[in-house]
Amino acid sequence: MTTIAIIGAGPGLGSAVARRFGREGFDVALVARDEARLDALAGALGAEGVNARGFSADVREPEQLRDALDRAAAHLGPVEVLQYSPLPRRDFMRPVLETTYLDLVGPVEFSVYGPVTAVQQVLPGMRELGRGTILFVNGGTAVLPHQDRAGTSIAFAAESAYGQLLHHALADDGVHVAQLIIPGAIVAGHERKDPGVLADTLWRLHRDRHGFRHFADDLDA
């Protein structure tokens, strides 16, 4: 079986996606900055029968991210599914009139350079497999900018454009690219935004391979 690499893996959505894909036989590469937390999460998943392993990297450091994905493929097998879903920092969300060009460096590194680095690293393996899925997970500002969250509004919009370009460019290569918009917060117990429900949604996006942009809930929710 092949591997899903979850970039931005944590105890909420990341672990739920790991469990969901793990039930389908996928090995799971968990990618985030904190190695100790990754090891703990991988251990918890292993106790549930999911073959998971952590690979630490900062998405704003391209060499770290490339190395983590290389190690994931070497230890677990080729990456068939890439999920890019790290949680943006709160200081990325400043009012637009207080946002300077320097304030946009972090969000752009996080939501543009990071995804481009990750995709370029796993794409040769997907082409060799003859199949693959790339899943972008974004907040509502990706499609409905908010004047008090300028950094994410601008950077998520750029990430969305990149994803949509990939969706068309890779269709003939057997690689499906999709985006899931999650308005507001992920909420345990919510009928549409509970981590387990969202993990089911992401599994269906991988399985059904239909369309680019999908919404977990209404934008005003």
Q: What integer pLDDT is reported at residue 62 of this predicted model?
A: 98
Instruction: Write down the domain spans for the chain.
Output: 3-215
Name residue, tokens 């709160």: 90
Name residue, tokens 């068309």: 168
Q: What integer pLDDT is reported at residue 172 of this predicted model?
A: 94
Pick the CATH number of 3-215 from 3.40.50.720, 1.10.3720.10, 3.10.20.30, 3.30.2000.10: 3.40.50.720
pTM, two decimal places? 0.96
pLDDT tens string 58-86: 999 999 999 999 999 999 999 999 999 99
Alpha helices, H only, 110-215: 114-129, 150-169, 195-208
pLDDT tens string 16-73: 999 999 999 999 999 999 999 999 999 999 999 999 999 999 999 999 999 999 999 9
CA distance 95 to 147: 6
